[in-house]
Amino acid sequence: MSKALLKYIRLSPTKARLIAREIQGMNAELAIASLEFTPNKAARVISKVIASAVANGSYDAQSVSIVSCRVDAGPVLRRFRPRAKGRATPIRKPTSHILVEVGTQKAIKESKSVKDSKIAEKSSAASKESAKKPVKTTQKKTTQTSKKTKGEDK
């Protein structure tokens, strides 16, 4: 499994996440081909990061799939635009960090089996702890209130 990280790209994280969700779990070659025809700045950038992740692992694009594509928020550049009557309004120019992990189908299955075994161990340990601790139950006392008529509340 190999990964590529692009930091401080001048791109809104919310717009980039829309593209990142589409390609999650896809074959790398198919993802690059589909992003090539997507009319979006985020698509061009993420396509390059996928190609870099494939090259980092010295894989062939047909033999790997995208394990995860994560877009995190980077620092926000703050600029000011002059407005009427001497005022200024802020302009936010967000940046983002894009992380892409690719791996072969065999590596993905092995990592999933390791994660499943860790989850099973945690759940069995939690069930043992809950079996040792006695559970206390509390009962609520119910009180009945009578309905008041117009003259009784004074």
In order, the DSSP letters of 97-154 are EEEEEEEEHHHHHHHHHHHHHHHHHHHHHHHHHHHHSPPP---PPP---PPP-TTTT-
Question: Does the pLDDT at position 117 exceed 90?
Answer: no
Mean pLDDT of 61-65: 91
pLDDT recorded at residue 131: 64
125 residue type, one letter = A
- Whether the predicted model's global pTM rises above the 0.85 cut: no
Residue identified by tokens 């009578």 is 146
The angle at the Cα of 103, spanning 99 to 105, to the nearest 5 degrees, equals 145
pLDDT digits (tens, 9 = 90+) for 6-46: 999 999 999 999 999 999 999 999 999 999 999 999 999 99
In whole angstroms, how far apart are CA 35 and each of 24, 26, 80, 125, 130? 12, 12, 34, 44, 49
What residue ranges do the domains of the chain occupy? 2-79+90-119
Euclidean distance between the first and the last CA atom of the chain, given in angstroms as a whole number = 77
Q: Is 80 exceeded by the pLDDT of residue 100?
A: yes
Looking at residue 113, its pLDDT comes to: 72
Q: What is the share, in percent, of the chain residues with pLDDT greater than 70?
A: 77
The pLDDT-based confidence of 151 (bands split at 50, 70, 90) is: low
Is residue 123 very low, low, confident or very high in pLDDT (cuts 50, 70, 90)?
Answer: confident
The two tokens of residue 51 are 């190609």
Contact present, 108 and 24 (Cβ < 8 Å): no
Fold of 2-79+90-119: Ribosomal Protein L22; Chain A (3.90.470)
